[in-house]
Protein backbone atom coordinates (compact mmCIF):
# COMPACT_ATOMS: atom_id res chain seq x y z
CA UNK A 1 0.00 0.00 0.00
CA UNK A 2 1.15 3.53 -0.79
CA UNK A 3 2.02 5.59 2.31
CA UNK A 4 3.03 9.07 3.36
CA UNK A 5 1.59 10.70 0.22
CA UNK A 6 1.20 14.40 -0.58
CA UNK A 7 -1.31 15.87 -3.03
CA UNK A 8 0.61 18.79 -4.48
CA UNK A 9 -2.02 20.85 -6.31
CA UNK A 10 -5.38 21.12 -4.58
CA UNK A 11 -7.57 23.84 -3.12
CA UNK A 12 -9.03 23.36 0.35
CA UNK A 13 -10.87 26.67 0.12
CA UNK A 14 -11.25 28.62 -3.10
CA UNK A 15 -13.50 31.34 -4.42
CA UNK A 16 -13.25 32.29 -8.07
CA UNK A 17 -17.00 32.82 -8.29
CA UNK A 18 -16.77 36.59 -8.82
CA UNK A 19 -14.90 36.80 -12.15
CA UNK A 20 -16.27 33.41 -13.25
CA UNK A 21 -19.83 34.46 -12.35
CA UNK A 22 -20.52 30.93 -11.14
CA UNK A 23 -21.19 29.97 -7.53
CA UNK A 24 -19.95 26.45 -8.26
CA UNK A 25 -16.45 27.98 -8.11
CA UNK A 26 -16.80 28.80 -4.42
CA UNK A 27 -15.79 25.75 -2.42
CA UNK A 28 -14.56 25.19 1.08
CA UNK A 29 -14.05 21.61 2.00
CA UNK A 30 -14.83 21.95 5.69
CA UNK A 31 -18.38 22.74 4.57
CA UNK A 32 -18.54 20.90 1.26
CA UNK A 33 -16.29 17.86 1.49
CA UNK A 34 -15.05 17.04 4.99
CA UNK A 35 -15.65 13.30 4.71
CA UNK A 36 -14.13 13.15 1.26
CA UNK A 37 -10.90 14.66 2.51
CA UNK A 38 -10.90 12.44 5.60
CA UNK A 39 -11.30 9.37 3.35
CA UNK A 40 -8.02 10.19 1.60
CA UNK A 41 -6.20 8.83 4.63
CA UNK A 42 -7.36 5.36 3.57
CA UNK A 43 -5.34 5.83 0.38
CA UNK A 44 -2.18 6.88 2.24
CA UNK A 45 -2.54 10.66 1.90
CA UNK A 46 -1.04 12.49 4.87
CA UNK A 47 -0.55 15.96 3.45
CA UNK A 48 -2.16 18.32 0.92
CA UNK A 49 -0.81 21.57 -0.50
CA UNK A 50 -3.55 24.19 -0.67
CA UNK A 51 -2.61 26.27 -3.73
CA UNK A 52 -5.10 29.06 -3.02
CA UNK A 53 -3.38 32.39 -2.43
CA UNK A 54 -4.15 36.09 -2.05
CA UNK A 55 -7.32 36.87 -3.97
CA UNK A 56 -8.33 33.23 -4.56
CA UNK A 57 -10.44 32.82 -1.47
CA UNK A 58 -7.67 31.36 0.67
CA UNK A 59 -9.19 30.82 4.12
CA UNK A 60 -6.81 29.64 6.81
CA UNK A 61 -9.37 29.61 9.60
CA UNK A 62 -11.64 27.20 7.74
CA UNK A 63 -8.82 25.06 6.44
CA UNK A 64 -7.02 24.74 9.78
CA UNK A 65 -10.29 23.46 11.19
CA UNK A 66 -10.45 21.01 8.28
CA UNK A 67 -6.92 19.90 9.12
CA UNK A 68 -7.89 19.36 12.73
CA UNK A 69 -11.00 17.36 11.89
CA UNK A 70 -9.38 15.17 9.23
CA UNK A 71 -5.89 14.84 10.71
CA UNK A 72 -4.42 15.45 7.24
CA UNK A 73 -1.71 18.09 7.27
CA UNK A 74 -2.42 21.10 5.06
CA UNK A 75 0.29 23.39 3.72
CA UNK A 76 -0.46 26.92 2.54
CA UNK A 77 0.64 29.17 -0.31
CA UNK A 78 1.46 32.81 -0.82
CA UNK A 79 1.41 34.93 -3.97
CA UNK A 80 -1.23 35.79 -6.54
CA UNK A 81 -3.00 33.77 -9.22
CA UNK A 82 -3.41 35.48 -12.64
CA UNK A 83 -5.52 38.02 -14.49
CA UNK A 84 -8.43 38.68 -14.01
CA UNK A 85 -8.21 37.25 -10.49
CA UNK A 86 -5.47 39.56 -9.22
CA UNK A 87 -6.52 41.84 -6.36
CA UNK A 88 -5.92 45.60 -6.77
CA UNK A 89 -2.82 45.47 -4.52
CA UNK A 90 -0.88 43.86 -7.39
CA UNK A 91 -1.48 47.01 -9.39
CA UNK A 92 -0.89 49.37 -6.48
CA UNK A 93 2.25 47.94 -4.87
CA UNK A 94 5.77 47.80 -6.33
CA UNK A 95 7.53 44.53 -7.14
CA UNK A 96 9.63 44.91 -3.99
CA UNK A 97 6.57 45.54 -1.85
CA UNK A 98 4.86 42.46 -3.27
CA UNK A 99 8.02 40.44 -2.60
CA UNK A 100 8.09 41.71 1.01
CA UNK A 101 4.50 40.67 1.45
CA UNK A 102 5.19 37.15 0.18
CA UNK A 103 8.38 36.91 2.24
CA UNK A 104 6.46 37.89 5.38
CA UNK A 105 3.83 35.23 4.76
CA UNK A 106 6.61 32.64 4.41
CA UNK A 107 8.72 33.70 7.40
CA UNK A 108 6.20 35.20 9.83
CA UNK A 109 2.91 33.63 8.85
CA UNK A 110 -0.42 34.35 7.18
CA UNK A 111 -2.76 36.34 9.42
CA UNK A 112 -0.66 35.16 12.36
CA UNK A 113 -1.91 31.59 11.87
CA UNK A 114 0.56 29.52 9.82
CA UNK A 115 3.56 30.22 7.57
CA UNK A 116 3.20 29.75 3.82
CA UNK A 117 5.26 26.82 2.51
CA UNK A 118 5.14 27.60 -1.19
CA UNK A 119 4.94 30.58 -3.55
CA UNK A 120 2.06 29.52 -5.78
CA UNK A 121 0.03 29.02 -7.73
CA UNK A 122 1.32 32.05 -9.58
CA UNK A 123 -0.03 32.08 -13.08
CA UNK A 124 0.04 33.36 -16.61
CA UNK A 125 -2.84 33.82 -19.05
CA UNK A 126 -3.58 31.89 -22.23
CA UNK A 127 -0.62 32.41 -24.62
CA UNK A 128 0.46 35.61 -22.86
CA UNK A 129 2.08 36.93 -19.68
CA UNK A 130 0.30 40.16 -18.76
CA UNK A 131 2.25 43.03 -17.12
CA UNK A 132 0.74 42.35 -13.69
CA UNK A 133 1.41 38.62 -14.00
CA UNK A 134 5.04 39.42 -14.79
CA UNK A 135 5.14 41.69 -11.75
CA UNK A 136 3.99 38.80 -9.55
CA UNK A 137 6.63 36.49 -11.07
CA UNK A 138 9.39 39.05 -10.44
CA UNK A 139 8.24 39.47 -6.84
CA UNK A 140 8.14 35.68 -6.46
CA UNK A 141 11.76 35.44 -7.66
CA UNK A 142 12.86 37.89 -4.96
CA UNK A 143 10.87 36.13 -2.24
CA UNK A 144 12.23 32.75 -3.40
CA UNK A 145 15.83 33.95 -3.24
CA UNK A 146 15.30 35.41 0.23
CA UNK A 147 13.51 32.40 1.72
CA UNK A 148 14.33 29.37 -0.45
CA UNK A 149 10.59 28.65 -0.73
CA UNK A 150 9.67 26.59 -3.81
CA UNK A 151 7.64 28.16 -6.64
CA UNK A 152 4.59 26.47 -8.12
CA UNK A 153 3.21 28.04 -11.27
CA UNK A 154 -0.14 27.85 -13.06
CA UNK A 155 -0.15 27.60 -16.82
CA UNK A 156 -3.42 28.34 -18.58
CA UNK A 157 -4.23 25.28 -20.66
CA UNK A 158 -0.57 24.35 -20.49
CA UNK A 159 0.65 27.45 -22.36
CA UNK A 160 3.64 29.73 -21.59
CA UNK A 161 5.60 27.15 -19.62
CA UNK A 162 8.81 27.85 -21.57
CA UNK A 163 8.42 31.59 -21.02
CA UNK A 164 7.85 31.03 -17.30
CA UNK A 165 11.05 28.99 -17.10
CA UNK A 166 13.01 31.66 -19.02
CA UNK A 167 11.79 34.36 -16.66
CA UNK A 168 12.52 32.36 -13.52
CA UNK A 169 15.95 31.27 -14.78
CA UNK A 170 16.90 34.82 -15.76
CA UNK A 171 16.14 35.98 -12.22
CA UNK A 172 18.23 33.36 -10.49
CA UNK A 173 15.62 30.86 -9.33
CA UNK A 174 16.76 27.27 -8.68
CA UNK A 175 14.83 25.40 -11.36
CA UNK A 176 14.63 22.21 -9.30
CA UNK A 177 12.60 24.27 -6.83
CA UNK A 178 10.05 25.10 -9.57
CA UNK A 179 6.94 23.10 -10.41
CA UNK A 180 5.11 23.98 -13.63
CA UNK A 181 1.46 22.98 -13.23
CA UNK A 182 -1.17 21.79 -15.67
CA UNK A 183 1.19 20.55 -18.40
CA UNK A 184 -1.44 17.84 -18.91
CA UNK A 185 -4.01 20.25 -20.37
CA UNK A 186 -2.24 20.71 -23.71
CA UNK A 187 -1.79 17.98 -26.29
CA UNK A 188 1.95 18.51 -26.74
CA UNK A 189 4.24 15.81 -25.37
CA UNK A 190 7.44 17.40 -26.70
CA UNK A 191 6.79 20.64 -24.81
CA UNK A 192 6.76 18.63 -21.57
CA UNK A 193 10.09 16.98 -22.39
CA UNK A 194 11.52 20.42 -23.13
CA UNK A 195 10.40 21.68 -19.72
CA UNK A 196 11.84 18.62 -17.98
CA UNK A 197 15.17 19.08 -19.75
CA UNK A 198 15.40 22.59 -18.30
CA UNK A 199 15.42 21.01 -14.83
CA UNK A 200 11.96 22.02 -13.57
CA UNK A 201 9.34 19.68 -12.19
CA UNK A 202 5.99 19.25 -13.96
CA UNK A 203 2.50 18.57 -12.69
CA UNK A 204 0.11 16.07 -14.20
CA UNK A 205 -2.30 17.70 -11.84
CA UNK A 206 -5.62 17.87 -13.67
CA UNK A 207 -6.23 14.14 -13.69
CA UNK A 208 -9.75 13.22 -14.66
CA UNK A 209 -10.37 16.40 -16.66
CA UNK A 210 -10.99 14.42 -19.80
CA UNK A 211 -12.71 17.26 -21.62
CA UNK A 212 -9.29 18.95 -21.95
CA UNK A 213 -7.14 15.87 -22.50
CA UNK A 214 -8.22 12.24 -22.15
CA UNK A 215 -6.69 10.35 -19.23
CA UNK A 216 -5.67 7.72 -21.76
CA UNK A 217 -3.12 10.26 -23.06
CA UNK A 218 -2.03 11.25 -19.53
CA UNK A 219 -1.41 7.57 -18.76
CA UNK A 220 0.61 7.00 -21.93
CA UNK A 221 2.71 10.10 -21.38
CA UNK A 222 3.49 9.31 -17.74
CA UNK A 223 4.68 5.84 -18.73
CA UNK A 224 6.81 7.29 -21.53
CA UNK A 225 8.33 9.94 -19.27
CA UNK A 226 9.21 7.35 -16.65
CA UNK A 227 10.84 5.23 -19.37
CA UNK A 228 12.82 8.28 -20.47
CA UNK A 229 14.16 8.73 -16.91
CA UNK A 230 12.15 11.72 -15.68
CA UNK A 231 10.41 10.03 -12.75
CA UNK A 232 11.91 12.35 -10.11
CA UNK A 233 10.39 15.42 -11.78
CA UNK A 234 6.79 14.17 -12.06
CA UNK A 235 3.90 15.10 -9.78
CA UNK A 236 0.27 13.91 -9.71
CA UNK A 237 -2.79 15.71 -8.39
CA UNK A 238 -6.38 16.51 -9.38
CA UNK A 239 -6.84 20.27 -8.86
CA UNK A 240 -10.48 20.04 -7.83
CA UNK A 241 -11.89 23.58 -7.66
CA UNK A 242 -15.62 23.17 -8.07
CA UNK A 243 -18.27 21.90 -5.69
CA UNK A 244 -19.75 19.88 -8.54
CA UNK A 245 -16.46 17.94 -8.87
CA UNK A 246 -16.85 16.49 -5.38
CA UNK A 247 -18.08 12.93 -5.08
CA UNK A 248 -20.81 13.96 -2.66
CA UNK A 249 -22.27 16.12 -5.45
CA UNK A 250 -21.97 13.43 -8.11
CA UNK A 251 -18.57 14.56 -9.37
CA UNK A 252 -15.47 12.50 -9.90
CA UNK A 253 -14.10 13.09 -6.39
CA UNK A 254 -10.57 12.84 -5.05
CA UNK A 255 -10.78 9.06 -4.79
CA UNK A 256 -10.71 8.86 -8.61
CA UNK A 257 -6.93 9.26 -8.53
CA UNK A 258 -6.61 6.17 -6.33
CA UNK A 259 -9.54 4.02 -7.46
CA UNK A 260 -9.28 4.58 -11.20
CA UNK A 261 -6.14 6.37 -12.40
CA UNK A 262 -3.46 4.64 -10.33
CA UNK A 263 -4.81 1.15 -11.10
CA UNK A 264 -4.53 2.08 -14.79
CA UNK A 265 -0.88 3.05 -14.27
CA UNK A 266 -0.30 -0.30 -12.56
CA UNK A 267 -1.86 -2.10 -15.54
CA UNK A 268 0.81 -0.36 -17.61
CA UNK A 269 3.51 -1.87 -15.39
CA UNK A 270 4.18 1.15 -13.20
CA UNK A 271 5.23 -0.33 -9.87
CA UNK A 272 4.19 0.51 -6.34
CA UNK A 273 7.75 1.65 -5.74
CA UNK A 274 7.61 4.10 -8.66
CA UNK A 275 4.26 5.45 -7.49
CA UNK A 276 5.68 5.90 -4.02
CA UNK A 277 8.50 7.98 -5.50
CA UNK A 278 6.09 10.19 -7.48
CA UNK A 279 3.49 10.74 -4.77
CA UNK A 280 5.73 10.81 -1.70
CA UNK A 281 9.46 11.26 -2.37
CA UNK A 282 9.05 13.97 -5.02
CA UNK A 283 6.74 16.20 -2.91
CA UNK A 284 8.95 15.68 0.14
CA UNK A 285 11.98 16.82 -1.80
CA UNK A 286 10.17 19.75 -3.44
CA UNK A 287 8.66 20.94 -0.16
CA UNK A 288 11.91 20.39 1.70
CA UNK A 289 10.74 18.02 4.37
CA UNK A 290 8.70 14.99 5.22
CA UNK A 291 5.10 15.20 6.23
CA UNK A 292 4.76 15.35 10.01
Binding site residues, Zn ion, CB under 5 A: 121, 154
Calculate the CA dihedral of residues 243, 211, 234, 216 and round it to 10 degrees. 130
Measured from the CB atom, is 144 or 154 closer to Zn ion? 154
Measured from the CB atom, is 14 or 279 closer to Zn ion? 14
Measured from the CB atom, is 187 or 269 closer to Zn ion? 187
Closest separation between CB of residue 154 and Zn ion, Å?
4
DSSP string, the chain: ---SEEEEEE-SEEE-HHHHT-GGGEEEHHHH-HHHHHHGGGGTEEEEEE---TTTT--HHHHHHHHHHHT-EEE-EES---TTS--HHHHHS-HHHHHHHHHHHHHT-BTTTB---EEEEEE-BTTB--HHHHHHHHHHHHHHHHH---EEEE-GGG-SHHHHHHHHHHTT--GGGEEE--GGGSS-HHHHHHHHHHT-EEEE--TT-TTTS-HHHHHHHHHHHHHTT-GGGEEE------GGGSGGGTS--THHIIIIIHHHHHHTT--HHHHHIIIIIHHHHHHTS---
Measured from the CB atom, is 156 or 274 closer to Zn ion? 156
Closest separation between CB of residue 96 and Zn ion, Å?
26
Measured from the CB atom, is 58 or 154 closer to Zn ion? 154
Closest separation between CB of residue 268 and Zn ion, Å?
26
Closest separation between CB of residue 10 and Zn ion, Å?
10
Residue nearest to Zn ion (CB): 154
φ, ψ for residue 145, nearest 5 deg: -70, -30
Measured from the CB atom, is 179 or 270 closer to Zn ion? 179
Measured from the CB atom, is 118 or 275 closer to Zn ion? 118
Closest separation between CB of residue 253 and Zn ion, Å?
19
Closest separation between CB of residue 266 and Zn ion, Å?
27
Closest separation between CB of residue 182 and Zn ion, Å?
6
Measured from the CB atom, is 95 or 157 closer to Zn ion? 157
Comparing CA positions, the residue from 209, 220, 218 lying closest to residue 268 is 220
Comparing CA positions, the residue from 203, 206, 155 lying closest to residue 179 is 203
Closest separation between CB of residue 229 and Zn ion, Å?
27
Q: In whole angstroms, give the CA distance from residue 237 to residue 253.
A: 12
Amino acid sequence: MLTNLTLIHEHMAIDLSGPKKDLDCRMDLLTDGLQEIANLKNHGVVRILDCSNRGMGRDLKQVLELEKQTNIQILFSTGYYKDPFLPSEVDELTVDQLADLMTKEITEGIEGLRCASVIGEIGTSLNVITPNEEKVFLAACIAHKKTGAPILTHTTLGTMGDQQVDLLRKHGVDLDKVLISHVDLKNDFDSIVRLLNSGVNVGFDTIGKNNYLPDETRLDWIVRLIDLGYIDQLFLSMDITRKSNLAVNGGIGYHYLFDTFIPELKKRNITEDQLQRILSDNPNRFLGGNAV
